[in-house]
Structure 1
Amino acid sequence: MLFRATVFCEEPIFCLSALLGAAFNAWFACLSGDFSAAIALRFAVGVCLAGVYPIGMKLIISWAPDRAGAALALLVGMLTLGSALPHGLRIMAAQWPWQYVMAGSSVLAGIAAVMVIYLGNGPHLPMRRPGGPNPGNPLHAFRDPQFRAIAVGYFGHMWELYAFWTILPMLVARSPLPSLFETQGISALAFAIIGVGAIGCVFGGVLTRWVDSARVALSALAISGVCCFLLPFAADALSRGCLLVFFLIWGAAVVADSPQFSALAAKTCPLPLVGGALAIQNSIGFALTVASITLVSTLLGDLGMKTSWVLLPGPVLGIIGFLSLRRSSR
């Protein structure tokens, strides 16, 4: 009876994806010497994450659809802290083998799966029973010009975000900042700069009480774009303390727009389609990160701090595309 009641709910999908991802992740740690198996297992973990992140967004919206911006800000803030955590673990346990860190993350993923199953769906999530009406094709969300405008802004954000997080330790290493710390300076700075994004997300969510999500998202995207442009000059002109503040501002802004774009997208399509529509939007966004990460990683050795200019088209085109498409739809 329990299975029949939940088979069309989202939390079993989240739970299964999290548990499979945890298993593949732990398996990867055990087979670290086999490169081919490691690549296959990392791919499998990525596939499983597709059942965690967009489903998680739909679940959290189902608890507070009228406060989607603030609710998703908490979710993305937690994701940001999770992204910073490996740098934090390196500070606390510098001598640990990396396999221990991987195994620990698998345990945490398993705990998360159990917690979500226990919590269940929110009260505002429509339930579809066997034989009920089909909620529709989530691709149809892209027929809405408002949704397309939001998606373009989100894609510009994604071009920058993960590429920035990837090369951040290398950018910090090329700056005078590591000398601020006696040991593990690069890890400490990377943890702080990425982790402060959680505060940026929460602050942006709080702002949505008075300012609409679109303005919060565009403001954060504009600030991170300005940081992309200014980094080569700031690295040479600013003192260590001011440069640290510069990086912290960038770290807070670079991810603060993500939950607001997702909240805007969720509001433009019917609730039953939210999970599928956000999954497609996220998939395209993460595909873009493959290109941007590859590009900046390749050019970093030659361009140094000017590599940040490779990230700049994301915020610029995201803002221009969002505003032009939204204006043309009115």
Structure 2
Amino acid sequence: MSAPGRTASLALLLVAEIGAMSLWFVSAAILPELTAEAALAPWRAALLSSAVQIGFVAGALTLAVHGTADRYDPRRVFALSAALAGAATVLFVIAPIGGWAQVGLRAATGFCLAGVYPVGMKIAVGWTVRRRGLVVGLLVAALTLGSAAPHGLALIGGPDWRVTAGIAASLSLFSAALILLSRLGPHHATAPRFDPAALKLAWRIRGVRLAIAGYLCHMWELYAYWAWIAVALAASFQAAGAEDPLTLARLGAFAAIALGGLACAPAGALADRFGKARIAGVCLAVGALSAGACAASFGGPPALTLTLAILWGIFVIPDSAQFSALVADAAPAERAGSLMTFQTALGFLLTAGTIQAAPMAAAAFGWPVTLALFGLGPLLGVEAMRRLHALRRLG
């Protein structure tokens, strides 16, 4: 059998990304059932989600400093990481609910997923330079669909949260085998040696620095939205007197996140044509406006709030691909994997705080204020992208 070509290899990568990343928001998707079964305190419930972010940061920093994705075959790194993440989720199912073992297993899952998402980007950018915005956009679309999957799986699992988590674990194990069937692209570059000093390029190269600044502003909003939009919508629908607010909120969250994923590919194509920084700036601006609009509509007509949340979901993610592509464009090819992984680590370190703080802010100030706060990051990110677009035009 001949080795798969570019299209087949990218397709295998995208499907594997969806399957492995379905583990990310499992705990958030099954939170109502977990809380009902074990009466979890709000801070403990939030910790199950923020632990994934913390674990991811630790894993991403480890891989970035070591240069793993640049020194070894990234397909094998991806496969091992996805398999270990799936195994950690299987153990999560049998661990005491809400205990430190479950928290630790969620952190371990996040650590392993650092070998999936950033490493997947390393594989993707190896296939093209001219169409890099589109290719990385497709990868982020897969990430987004995977992140939305737990909300859909929760509808399949119903009241038994263990079924939902078990399906997600199975998908990740399947992805580990699938990625090994792909091959690497012609632009894949390998670093000759271990050099943690290469991470200094994140500051020394202005294009990389501005891309990372915009990414951090974007991450302030993104994962807080993904983790808590279903909870916020349920509270809004309940305040509005909607029938079965939880089911409606879950469907709304799944639709919002999934549609955002589908928007990544066309946004990537537009970025390749009109400029990655420009398209990222547009997405950030719409995200900031949507956050304010959702806050203003909270408790109002469910159809209006749901529409605004879905609009927000469509624009909250397509820019993520462009930040990664911008770093890859500005960085030396042999260091792109480490710098993208480092960028991702910084972003997810920020999200660990926003995910943990969001429900506490909602308890103290209400969800409308909390949703409005989500919009502050992207508002600042617009300026970073304006500067980066001007820099790239001069270059």
Measure, in 1, the Cα distance between the counterparts of 2:180 and 2:380.
Answer: 40
Structure 1 match to 2:366: 303
Q: 1:184 aligns with which of 230, 233, 247?
A: 247
Match in the other structure for 2:144:
80
CA distance in 2, matches of 1:8, 1:191: 35
Q: Distance in 2 between matches of 1:70 and 1:313?
A: 27
TM-score (norm 2): 0.75
Q: Distance in 1 between matches of 2:193 and 2:80?
A: 25
Q: Please name the residue that 1:198 is paired with.
A: 261
Partner deviation per Cα, 1:211-244 (whole Å, 9 max, x = no partner)? 111111110011001112222223366x443433
- Counterpart selection for 2:211 from 136, 150, 153: 150
1:174 offset after TM fit, Å?
2.7
User: Which of 112, 117, 120 in structure 2 is aligned with 1:56?
Assistant: 120
Contact 1:76 1:198 in 2 (8 A): yes
Structure 1: which 5+ runs fail to align?
A: 1-5
Partner SS, residue 262 of structure 1: helix
Equivalent residue, structure 2, for 1:3:
none
Q: How many residues align?
A: 320
Counterpart position of 2:132: 68
- Alignment of 1:138 onto 2:195: no
Preserved CA contact (<8 Å) 2:133 2:272: no
**Structure 1 match to 2:341:** 279
Look up the match of 1:89: 153
SS of the equivalent of 1:51 reads: coil
Distance 1:212 1:133, change over 3 A: same
What displacement does 1:99 show?
1.8
Match of 1:18 in 2: 82
Deviates more, 1:102-111 or 1:268-277: 102-111
SS state at 1:55 partner: helix
Contact 2:78 2:116 in 1 (8 A): yes
In structure 2, stretches of 5+ residues that fail to align are: 1-69
Conserved? CA contact 1:137–1:273, under 8 Å: no
Measured against aligned partners, the alpha-carbon deviations of 1:124-144 in whole angstroms (never above 9, x if no partner) come to 21245xxx5667743132110
Shift, 1:308, TM fit: 1.3
Q: Is the 8 A contact 1:149 1:326 kept in 2?
A: no
RMSD: 2.5
Instruction: State the distance in 1 between where 2:387 and 2:296 align.
Output: 30
**Paired AA for residue 274 in structure 1:** A
**1:23 CA displacement:** 1.2
Contact 1:135–1:272 under 8 Å retained in 2:
no
Task: Give SS of 2:236's match.
Answer: coil
Match of residue 168 from structure 1: 229
Name 1:213's counterpart in structure 2.
276
Identity %: 31
The DSSP-based 3-state class of the residue aligned with 1:187 is helix
2:157, 2:168 → 1: CA distance? 14
User: Are 2:220 and 2:350, in contact at CA under 8 Å, matched by a contact in 1?
Assistant: yes
Matches of residues 102-141 of structure 1 in structure 2 within 5 Å? 102-127=165-190, 132=192, 137-141=197-201
After superposition, the Cα gap between the structure-2 partners of 1:309 and 1:25, relative to the gap in structure 1 and judged at 3 Å, is same
Task: Tell me the SS of whatever aligns to 2:366.
Answer: helix
Moved more, 150-159 or 298-307: 298-307
**1:163 and 1:292 in contact (8 A); partners too:** yes
Deviation at 1:17, TM superposition (A): 1.1
Q: Give the letter aligned to residue 53 of structure 1.
A: Y
- 2:91 is paired with a residue whose SS is helix
Are the structure 2 counterparts of residues 86 and 186 from structure 1 closer, same or farther at C-alpha, using a change threshold of 3 Å? Answer: same
Q: Deviations over 1:234-269 (max 9, x none)?
A: 3366x4434332221100001111001111111000
Match of 1:101 among 141, 144, 164: 164
Bigger shift: residues 150-159 or 97-106:
97-106
Separation (CA, whole Å) in 2 of partners of 1:178 and 1:188: 17
The correspondence of residues 260-279 of structure 1 with structure 2, limited to 5 A, is: 260-279=322-341
Match status 1:315 vs 2:378: yes
Range with greater deviation from structure 2 (227-236 or 40-49): 227-236
SS in 2 for 1:66: coil
Query: Does the Cα contact within 8 Å between 2:156 and 2:164 map onto a contact in 1?
Result: no
